[in-house]
Amino acid sequence: MENNILKGKKGIVFGALDKKSIAWKVAVNAYKEGAEIVLTNAPIALRMGTINDLAKQTNSIVIPADATSMEDLNNLYNKSMDYFGSKFDFILHSIGMSVNVRKGKQYYDMNYDWTQKGMDVSAMSFHKTIKAAFDIDALNEYASIIALSYVAAQRVFHSYNDMADNKALLESIARSFGYHYGLKKNVRVNTVSQSPTITTAGSGVDGFDGFYKFADDLSPLGNASAEDCAKYCVTLFSDYTKMVTMQNLFHDGGFSSMGMSQQVMDNYMKSVKGNK
Ligand SMILES: NC(=O)c1ccc[n+]([C@@H]2O[C@H](COP(=O)([O-])OP(=O)(O)OC[C@H]3O[C@@H](n4cnc5c(N)ncnc54)[C@H](O)[C@@H]3O)[C@@H](O)[C@H]2O)c1
């Protein structure tokens, strides 16, 4: 159902590691809708992942950048503008990592050096990706910047750990920079709060299978897939959503508005009765 809604648009996609990555699907769908793309990821991820396959599939180039390094980001944007022959129209920030989560640390027992590292990669990198573009005026009027978030920014999920704090900061950066970049250049900044999704980063969270199943049972539409998320991001890059900015947009099949569903209640009562 391609409609060329990104025809003439140019953008940068951060965070495609492998075929399961949400960013991978965003790149494929943006390309199908007519966009020209530059792909980027941290140098180490480029060595581990399969991004060159994606570059072929989307007729794009890959420029390495650690999203925590202003020097790398400036180099990425300057080279991208050379490649595009112009400024560009969208940025996807699809980056997340917590060392505390990886190492199984509890929230009340976190290692603060790891916390800082995770916050730099997962949240401050969003500020930096926006600031680098802001400083060199890399974006066209009404360009669209999106980062991916999770509902743990608002609600407690017992093992999501410091990633919950990182997502809260990420969403706040979208509002604060959305204000400044909106005034300067009508650039839009939003976060998309996505359902649990089976990817490398997602599956690294302890108890992920349970989160996934619970959300699927609670949400009237079920969990939103990575493919659906990509299609939503494409609409947010397009001119059809030109006046949407500074929002955290839930893309979760209804999960965030639910309290209890019949399905979850039935499953819960079965286990309660089974334990008696
Ligand atoms: N999978 C889920 O359940 C889920 C749900 C909601 C939101 N999200 C968010 O979606 C985003 C993408 O995650 P994903 O699930 O596609 O997993 P993923 O593991 O495929 O993507 C995470 C990406 O972050 C990149 N990255 C890490 N450190 C980096 C750095 N310093 N510089 C540049 N890139 C770096 C990794 O190389 C990887 O490509 C993350 O922000 C994640 O928190 C995921």
What is the CATH classification number for the domain harbouring 97? 3.40.50.720
Q: Is residue 3 part of a domain?
A: no
Q: What is the pLDDT of residue 263?
A: 92
Q: How far is ligand 1, taken at its centre, from the CA of residue 69, in Å? A: 17
Q: Is-contact 184 130, C-beta < 8 A?
A: no
- Write down how long the chain is: 276
Q: What is the pLDDT of residue 47?
A: 87
Q: Is residue 33 part of a domain?
A: yes
Instruction: Tell me what the pLDDT averaged over the chain comes to.
Output: 96
**Which residues have CB under 6 Å of ligand 1?**
14-15, 17, 21-23, 41-42, 45, 66-68, 94-97, 121, 148-150, 194, 196-197, 199-202
Q: How far is ligand 1, taken at its centre, from the CA of residue 87, in Å? A: 25
Cβ contacts of 270 within 8 Å, gap of 6 or more: none
Dig out the tokens for 274 from the structure. Answer: 């089974």
Q: Is residue 5 part of a domain?
A: no
Could you tell me which of 139, 138, 145, 154 has the C-alpha nearest to residue 244? 145
Q: Is residue 142 classed exposed, middle or buried when 0-12, 13-18 and 19+ CB atoms within 10 A define those classes?
A: middle
For the CA of 67, the nearest atom of ligand 1? 32
Q: Is residue 194 part of a domain?
A: yes
Q: Is residue 180 part of a domain?
A: yes
Residue of 53, 68, 95 best suited for mutating to test ligand 1, as the one with most atoms within 8 Å of CB:
95
Q: Which residue has the tokens 């009765």?
A: 273
Q: How far is ligand 1, taken at its centre, from the CA of residue 80, in Å? A: 21
Q: Is residue 2 part of a domain?
A: no
Domain that includes residue 53, residue range = 10-274
DSSP state of 126: H
Could you tell me which of 154, 257, 246, 269 has the C-alpha nearest to residue 215? 257
For the CA of 93, the nearest atom of ligand 1? 41
Q: Residue of the nearest CA to atom 11 in ligand 1? A: 94
Q: Is residue 106 part of a domain?
A: yes
Q: How many CB atoms lie within 10 A of CB 204?
A: 14
The torsion angles phi and psi of 178, rounded to 5 degrees, stand at: -60, -40
Residue of 22, 169, 209, 225 best suited for mutating to test ligand 1, as the one with most atoms within 8 Å of CB:
22
DSSP lists the bridge partners of residue 12 as 38, 91
DSSP lists the bridge partners of residue 148 as 192
At what angle are helices 208-218 and 262-274 packed, to 10 degrees? 130
Q: Is residue 16 part of a domain?
A: yes
Counted domains in the chain: 1
For the CA of 17, the nearest atom of ligand 1? 39
What is the β-pairing status of strands 188-194 and 36-40? unpaired
Mind listing the pLDDT tens digit of every residue in the chain (276 residues)? 689 999 999 999 999 999 999 999 999 999 999 999 999 999 999 988 799 999 999 999 999 999 999 999 999 999 999 999 999 999 999 999 999 999 999 999 999 999 999 999 999 999 999 999 999 999 999 999 999 999 999 999 998 999 999 999 999 999 999 999 999 999 999 999 999 999 888 887 888 899 899 999 999 999 999 999 999 999 999 999 999 999 999 999 999 999 999 999 999 999 888 877
Q: How far is ligand 1, taken at its centre, from the CA of residue 138, in Å? A: 24
Q: What is the pLDDT of residue 199?
A: 87
Q: How far is ligand 1, taken at its centre, from the CA of residue 149, in Å? A: 10
Question: Beta-strand (E) ranges in the chain?
Answer: 10-14, 36-40, 61-62, 88-93, 139-149, 188-194, 248-251
Global confidence as pTM: 0.97
